[in-house]
Chain A
Amino acid sequence: MNRIWLLPIISGTVFALAYPPYNLEPLVWLGFLPLFYFLYYSNLKNGFWAGLIAGFVYFLIVMKWFWAVYPLNWAGFESIIFSGFLVVFVWLISSVGMGLWWGFFSFVLVKFKTLKKEGYLLLLAPAVFALSEYIRSWFFGFLWAGPGTFWGPHWTIGNLAYSLHNNQLFLKLSSFIGIYGITFLIILTNLLIFNLIKSKVVSAKKIYITFLLIFTLSFAPKIFGKTNPEQTNQVPVAIIQTKTSGDITFSTERQLEEFKRQLSFLKESVKLSPRPKMIIFPEGTNFFKSLSIFLDTEEVRKFFNNNFSEQTLIIDNSRVIDEKGNIKSRVIYLDSQKGVISFYDKQFLTPAGEFMPYSLDFLTKLFKQDATAFTILRKSDKGNKNPEVINFEDLKTGSLVCSGLFSPGLFRSLSKQNPDFIIAMTSTGIFKGANDIVQQDLAIAKFRASESNKYLILTANNGYSAVIDNTGKIRKIAENSEPQLFTGQVMPIQKLTWYNKVGDIPLIIVSFIIVIIGFTATRSRNF
C-alpha cells in the first residue's frame, strides 16, 4: 500500500484522541491536516476514499464501546459466536456508515479545491462538513431502522464539537450556534492552519502563528474563563445512583436486593439536610414497578405520605404496560402528597437495546437464533409525545431518558418550554459502565446544559451521576459508579438562549446556501 494512505488513518486517529475519553483537546484543531494534505494532491475518487477511511478509523475508535455489550446474553442470545458476529457487524457497519459522510465531505473538497476564489473554500468546506454532520445524525437512524426508530437528526455521537467539552469559550458559543456551528469553526480553523503551512517552505513565523492559534483556542478559555460564583436560591436534589446489570438473566435475589437498597436510600434521603425537594432515579430502575409488587395503590399512597413529611417529587423510570397494551419506558413523576402527577414515555429508543433493527432481525432469523427473550424482556414501544415540563410547587422541570441526551433537537423541545432545570436519566447497563461511553455521555451532557443555559441533573445507572451547571461545568460528580445516595443543588434559571429559540435552523440554512452558491459557482469561470 502506498504510504500516503496512512494520512487519512492518522487524521481519524488524531480526531479520536481529541474526543472523550482521551480528551487531547488541542488535536481537534489539527486533526484534518493529514487528510487535507492528501486531498491537496488527490483526484476525486481517491479523495472520497481517503475521507471514508479517516471517518471509518475515527468512528471505530470513538464507538469501540460496542465491544462492551459482548456477549449478548443480556439480549437473550446464548451463542457467543453469534454474539461476537453481531457485535463486529454492528461496529463495522456503524463506522462505515458514519465514515461515509466524511468521504462525501472529502469528495466535495477535492472537487472545489481548484476554485479561483480560494477564500470561498474557507466557507464552503466548513459548511459542507456541518451539513454532512447534520445528515449523519439522521443517517444512523436509517442504518439501524426498526419498528421503534425515532426519525430525526438525533444521533450526534462522534460530533467533533464534543471534543471541546472542557472549553468554556465553545461551550458558551454553543448557546448561540449549537454543535454544528462549532463544527463549522473547527473545520475553518483546520483549514486556516493548513493554508498557513501547506507551502513547501514552512517558516518559523507560520509555526508560531499556528501554535498561538491553538493555544488561544484551547487554553486561553481555561485560564481566563470566569468561574460561576456559588449561587443562592438553590434547590437541593438527591439522586439514587444504581449499578444494575443490563443482563436479562439478572436473578430475582439480586433484583430484590437492588430494590431493598433503593428503598433504603429513599428512606435515608428523608433525613438529609437540606432536605431534597426531588429524589431522582436513573433509567431502568423500575422502582415504582417493584414497589407495586408489594403494595397496592392505597398502601403506596400511605407509604409516601407517612415517610415524607414534606412535599417531595420522586422521579423514576419503569418499564410499564400502558392502557393499550404497549410496553413503554416511562418516566413517572410522583408527588409524595398527591400521587402520580405526570409521566413521559421515552421516544428516542436505542436500536438493539429497546427494539430490534430490521437488519439484525433478518440476521437473527437467518442464523436461526432465538430472540424471544429480547422481545419479552427488553422490547419497548416508542412514546408518542415530546417531553413536557411539569410543575411541582413553584418549580418547573422535565426529563429526558438516556439517548435523548444525544439529540440537541429533542433536548431543545424540552428546554424551550423554559423549565427551571432539566433531568437526564441515563443507563449504560448493557455497556457494563464502559468508561468510553460514560465519558462521552458526560461530554454531551455538558453541551446540552450549555446550549440551553439550564442546570442539568444527570442520574446514572452504571455511570457517574452529576450536577452540571448552565455553563456546562460539572458542579458535582459522584466519586465512583457504585450505588449511592448522591446529593447536589441546582439553580433555577429562566433565561432562554438564542439556541433555545432558533435551534440549528439558521446554521443549516446558511451552510446550505454556501454550498448551493459553491455548486453554482463551478459553472462560472471567474469564481
Chain B
Amino acid sequence: MNKMPTKIKILLTSLIAVSALIILSFFVSGKNLTGLGANIFQTLGSNNKAGQNETGSQNNFLATKNDTDKDGLFDSEEPLYKTDPLNPDTDGDGFLDGEEVASECSPIVSGCKDKIQTSENSRSLTEELSDLITGGIIAGDLKPDNPNFAESVTALKNYSFINNQTLLSVDDSEISFNPAKDDSKKYRQAYINDLGTIFEEYLISTSNQSKLNINLSDEGVINLYSDSLESLKGIEQKILKLTVPASWVEFHKKVLIFIKKSELFYQNIIEYEEDPVKALLTLNSITSLQNEYKSIISEALKEIDEQNLTLQSRTILQLLSN
C-alpha cells in the first residue's frame, strides 16, 4: 500500500472530522430535520437576541448618567449646547454651564445677555425638550439614576407639547379649489380619473417614506427627502388646478389637507439639523400618514362604486375597484 503523505493526512483528518460531525448529528437529530447543529445555533441565536434587546433598551442617550465636569449637564448633553464636557464653565463667566442652560442663557457666551431663544414660539422642539429635562433634573423632579428615568423623559415629552397632530397640523381655512360647472357624471368621471393618476404620482414621490432605517444625518438622504417635497408641491399644484364637482368637494378638501400634511412631513425631516427631535418624531407619524392615504383610497373607491363611475383602465383605482 502506498504511504500516505502528511499533508494529505491532515486534510483527510479534517474532512473525516467534518463528516463524523455531520453523520453524528444526522443520527442524533432524529425527527428534527435541521439536526443537532441547528439546535445549538438556534439556542445561541435566541440568547443573542435577548442580549441585543437588553442592550437596546439601555441605549438611550438621555439615560447616560456621567457628568464629568460636574456642571449640571450630562456629558451626552454637552454637545447639544456645544459646551466643553471637561470644563464646568465653558464661557468662563462664573456661571456653571448647567445653571446657564436652566436659566435659558447660552453657556458658550459670557454673561447672560444672550438668551438661547428670545421668543418662546421660535424655539425648536429639541431645545424645549432639553430645557425641560435639564430643569427637571436641577429641580430634583427628574433623577437620572432612577431606573425609570427614560420612561419619565418619554412621559414628559408626550405630556408637554409633542404629538403627531401638532407636528403635521394644517389650517383647513387655507384650502381653495376650482368648482366644476355642474355635478354631471362627465365632470365627476374626469375628476376621479385625474385624481387616480395623482394618487399614483403621490406613491412614487413618497416611496422613500418606508426607508425608516435611514440615517437622517446623511446629506444624500436629506436630498432625497427634499426631492420628495418638491414633487409633492408639484402634486399640490395639479390638485389645485382640478375642477371639482359638487359631490366631491368634501373629499377634495381631505385630499388637499392630506397633501399639505405630507409636505409638512418632509419639511420637518429636511430640517433635521436644526431640530432633530421634531424630525425624529415626525418620522414616527409615518403610520398615521399611511393610514390616512388608505382611508382616502377607501373613500374614493366607495364613492366610485356608489356613483357608478367608469375609470380609465389600468389605473390603480380601476384595478382596486370591484
A293, B214: Cα distance in complex, Å? 20
Residues 109-132 of A contacting B (Cβ, < 8 Å): 110-111, 114, 131-132
A294, B298: Cα distance in complex, Å? 8
A147, B46: Cα distance in complex, Å? 12
A111, B294: Cα distance in complex, Å? 71
Are B204 and A294 in contact, with the CB atoms below 8 A? no
> What residues on B are CB-neighbors of A306 within 8 Å?
322
Q: Which residue of B lies closest to A302 (CB)?
A: B322
On whether A260 and B316 interact (CB within 8 A), knowing A100-B15, A295-B294, the answer reads yes
Are B295 and A296 in contact, with the CB atoms below 8 A? yes
Q: Which of B33, B213, B291, B316 contacts A152 (CB 8 A)?
A: B33
Q: Tell whether A170 is near chain B: CB-to-CB under 8 Å.
A: no
Q: Tell whether B119 is near chain A: CB-to-CB under 8 Å.
A: no
Are B33 and A256 in contact, with the CB atoms below 8 A? no
On whether A264 and B319 interact (CB within 8 A), knowing A139-B18, A252-B207, A376-B211, the answer reads yes
Are B294 and A294 in contact, with the CB atoms below 8 A? yes
Q: Which of A253, A267, A303, A522 contacts B204 (CB 8 A)?
A: A253
On whether A293 and B203 interact (CB within 8 A), knowing A104-B15, A135-B22, the answer reads yes
Q: How distant is A368 from chain B, measured CB to nearest CB, in Å?
A: 17
A303, B38: Cα distance in complex, Å? 41
> What residues on A are CB-neighbors of B319 within 8 Å?
260, 263-264, 267
Q: Interface segment, B4-12, B108-116, B156-164, B240-248?
A: B4-12
> What residues on A are CB-neighbors of B22 within 8 Å?
134-135, 138, 153
Q: Tell whether A409 is near chain B: CB-to-CB under 8 Å.
A: yes
Are B8 and A107 in contact, with the CB atoms below 8 A? yes
Q: Interface segment, A40-48, A391-399, A461-469?
A: A40-48
Q: Tell whether B290 is near chain A: CB-to-CB under 8 Å.
A: yes
Are B8 and A48 in contact, with the CB atoms below 8 A? yes
> What residues on B are CB-neighbors of A131 within 8 Å?
19
Q: Which of A43, A111, A138, A386 contacts B33 (CB 8 A)?
A: A386
Q: Which of B37, B295, B322 contacts A151 (CB 8 A)?
A: B37
> What residues on A are CB-neighbors of B294 within 8 Å?
293-296, 299
Q: Which of B1, B42, B214, B301 contacts A111 (CB 8 A)?
A: B1
Q: Tell whether A307 is near chain B: CB-to-CB under 8 Å.
A: yes
Q: How distant is A302 from chain B, measured CB to nearest CB, in Å?
A: 8
Most buried by A among B11, B12, B204, B320: B320
Q: How distant is B21 from chain A, measured CB to nearest CB, in Å?
A: 9
Q: Which residue of B lies closest to A45 (CB)?
A: B5
Are B1 and A104 in contact, with the CB atoms below 8 A? no
Q: Which of B11, B38, B200 contacts A256 (CB 8 A)?
A: B200
> What residues on A are CB-neighbors of B4 within 8 Å?
44
Q: How distant is B161 from chain A, measured CB to nearest CB, in Å?
A: 29
Q: Tell whether B136 is near chain A: CB-to-CB under 8 Å.
A: no
Are A135 and B204 in contact, with the CB atoms below 8 A? no
Are B322 and A142 in contact, with the CB atoms below 8 A? no
A276, B275: Cα distance in complex, Å? 55
Q: Tell whether A508 is near chain B: CB-to-CB under 8 Å.
A: yes
Dominant SS among interface residues on chain B: helix
Are A409 and B33 in contact, with the CB atoms below 8 A? yes
Q: Tell whether B59 is near chain A: CB-to-CB under 8 Å.
A: no
Are B290 and A293 in contact, with the CB atoms below 8 A? yes
Q: How distant is B12 from chain A, measured CB to nearest CB, in Å?
A: 7
A520, B322: Cα distance in complex, Å? 74
Please encode chain A, from 145 to 182, with 1 for each CB lying within 8 Å of some chain B CB and 0 for all others: 00101111100000000000000000000000000000
On whether A43 and B2 interact (CB within 8 A), knowing A100-B15, A253-B204, the answer reads yes
Are B15 and A295 in contact, with the CB atoms below 8 A? no
Q: Which residue of A lies closest to B210 (CB)?
A: A293
Q: Tell whether A413 is near chain B: CB-to-CB under 8 Å.
A: yes
> What residues on B are CB-neighbors of A267 within 8 Å?
319
Q: Which of A45, A147, A299 contacts B301 (CB 8 A)?
A: A299
Q: Tell whether B314 is near chain A: CB-to-CB under 8 Å.
A: yes
Q: Tell whether B26 is near chain A: CB-to-CB under 8 Å.
A: yes
Are B213 and A376 in contact, with the CB atoms below 8 A? yes
Are A152 and B35 in contact, with the CB atoms below 8 A? yes
A256, B206: Cα distance in complex, Å? 12
On whether A150 and B38 interact (CB within 8 A), knowing A142-B18, A376-B211, A512-B23, the answer reads yes
Are B203 and A522 in contact, with the CB atoms below 8 A? no
Q: Tell whether B34 is near chain A: CB-to-CB under 8 Å.
A: yes
> What residues on B are CB-neighbors of A100 within 8 Å?
15
On whether A135 and B18 interact (CB within 8 A), knowing A110-B2, A151-B35, A151-B38, the answer reads yes
Q: Tell whether A54 is near chain B: CB-to-CB under 8 Å.
A: no
Are B211 and A152 in contact, with the CB atoms below 8 A? no
Write 26 A-B pairs (CB below 8 A) sorted by A numbering: A43-B2, A107-B12, A132-B19, A138-B18, A150-B34, A151-B34, A151-B38, A152-B37, A152-B38, A153-B22, A153-B26, A255-B207, A256-B200, A256-B204, A256-B316, A260-B316, A263-B320, A264-B319, A293-B290, A296-B294, A296-B298, A299-B297, A302-B322, A306-B322, A307-B322, A522-B1
Interface residues of A (CB under 8 A from B): 43-45, 48, 100-101, 104, 107, 110-111, 114, 131-132, 134-135, 138-139, 142, 147, 149-153, 252-253, 255-256, 260, 263-264, 267, 293-296, 298-299, 302-303, 306-307, 347, 375-376, 384, 386, 409-410, 413, 505, 508, 512, 522
> What are the nearest 5 A-B pairs in CB distance?
A252-B207, A151-B37, A263-B319, A306-B322, A151-B38
Interface residues of B (CB under 8 A from A): 1-5, 7-8, 11-12, 15, 18-19, 22-23, 26, 33-35, 37-38, 41-42, 45, 200, 203-204, 207, 211, 213-214, 290-291, 293-295, 297-298, 301, 314, 316, 319-320, 322
